[in-house]
């Protein structure tokens, strides 16, 4: 919680919290409070989501053998399997997928 406060402090006016910027891969609860003398809290939405898997080529939310197969099928091309964004699918992309599984 302290890390989130360091990012957003006592911000008002609709501050979103994105896990990718916090270094956390998951949260279990969100504390929403109104300081004494405050007027109102408005909650537009709450979503329970996980950060994407690093090696998830096909977007199914997990790094699996299917992602490895897609990397191999896209070898020396570009596209979603180019996990390191160097312009070509290769060995480093395969290593990223294997580390993310």
Nearest one of 85, 86, 83, 87 to 97, comparing CA atoms:
83
pLDDT digits (tens, 9 = 90+) for 17-56: 666 667 776 666 667 777 777 777 666 666 666 666 788 9
Helix, coil or strand: residue 82 = coil
In the predicted structure, residue 92 carries a pLDDT above the cut 90:
yes
What is the band of 62 on the pLDDT scale with cuts at 50, 70, 90? confident
Max CA distance (Å), the chain: 61
Average pLDDT over residues 62-80: 94
What percent of the chain stands above pLDDT 90? 36
Give pTM, 2 decimals: 0.53
Domain boundaries, the chain: 1-51, 65-100
């Amino acid at each position: 919680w302290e890390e989130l406060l360091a990012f957003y402090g006592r911000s008002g006016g609709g501050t979103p919290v994105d896990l990718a910027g916090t270094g956390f891969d998951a949260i279990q609860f969100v504390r929403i409070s109104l300081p004494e003398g405050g007027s109102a809290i408005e909650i537009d939405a709450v979503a329970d989501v996980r950060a994407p898997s690093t090696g998830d080529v096909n977007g199914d939310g997990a790094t699996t053998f299917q992602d490895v197969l897609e990397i191999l099928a896209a070898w020396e091309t570009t596209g979603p399997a180019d996990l390191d964004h160097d312009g070509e699918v290769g060995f480093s992309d395969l290593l990223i997928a294997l580390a993310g599984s």
